[in-house]
Structure 1
Amino acid sequence: MAESGYLKNQFLIAMPTLQDPNFFHSVAYICEHNENGAMAIVINQPVDLTVGELIEQMKHVSPKTPLANSPVFRGGPVDVDRGFVLHPTDQQWEATLPVTDKIALTTSNDIITAMAEGRGPEKSLVALGYAGWGAGQLEEEIRDNAWLNVPANTELLFDTEVDKRWEAAASLLGVDIHQLTGDAGHA
């Protein structure tokens, strides 16, 4: 686990044996983790919707963002009708949670308005829904060998091809995810 014992700003990498369809071969970016639980956005499960189409549906305007062709992601099984935008911290919005000094999470509509007008973030990941764990639940799943974790980086978050994120996240640990087994040992 992270130095503080919490995993904020880490990637969760689903083990190959994790069969839950919500998380099969997923990579989730942990936005918050404390004694009360954890919240993450799955970053490699695109839905059949682009950022431009989402903006057109919400704002009834043609988007001016260069990110219009970027996919919208299924961020997790909780609050699937709610939008979440991961982005660099160079701009602030009404409901922005700084995750680190470089990455923030915004849930307010003003960021979508700015994107529609071409003044939104230069890079972003737009998701519907999030993944949530209650107190101690994520730690138990990690002990049960459902997840690996690794410190996050912005390149994988914003620039790596979607279909390569699972393998790329595991490679940050120096492992080939396809060579891992679901068998766990406990000392």
Structure 2
Amino acid sequence: MELMEAIKQRRSIRSYLTKPIKEEILEEILDSARYAPSGGDSQSWLFGVIKDEEKKKQLAQAAGNQSWIAEAPVIIACCARLDNDMSKLPKDDFGVVVNHTRFGEDFIEYMNQYSDRKMAATFWCNAVPLIPGEHIALAAANRGLGTCWVGYLDVRRSSKILNLPENVACLFLMPMGYPAEEPREIYRKTLGEILFYDDWKQNK
């Protein structure tokens, strides 16, 4: 399948066949995540491959009791390492400088004073698995598989279910399987609705 075809065909699928995913296909799909970019080339993502029926049910419960999640042959747990506490880094640390520039020093100082340092780190790392995760979603679409991003998730509970160490958090789930539903056509905005060139006022 051509890349643009896979991009256009990808849908959020919430109903799956019981047909198993061949191990070589699953490994190919997961391998796509390794080629994603990351800030500072940190590659601080981790992905759990969940096939155990009881674990899948527990994760579905942690995701707002969305029982359809457990029907997928595989659930990918999209995780991140929480290794850096920004409050303990020197002000000239490049990551600190970048975040001061992006969000302002007042906001960073506010976050640095938040008492639960693990949850502060979880907040900062929320986007870590998103780009490699979308690589997985597109590689799955290329193989005729359906996926769905699940962000409605009790992060503490899901991390406990998976017995993750203290410096790792499960931030999203991605059920994966062969679709048992016909993907519906969805409206997408036109390019003209999502682009501007050079200066907002010149275009709007």
> Comparing both structures, which one devotes a greater share of its residues to strand?
1
Same fold (TM over 0.5): no
Which has the larger share of helix?
2
Greater RCO (Cα-Cα under 8 Å, separation 6 or more)? 2
**Bigger CA radius of gyration:** 2
TM-score interval w.r.t. the shorter chain?
under 0.3
TM-score between the two structures when normalised by the length of structure 2: 0.26
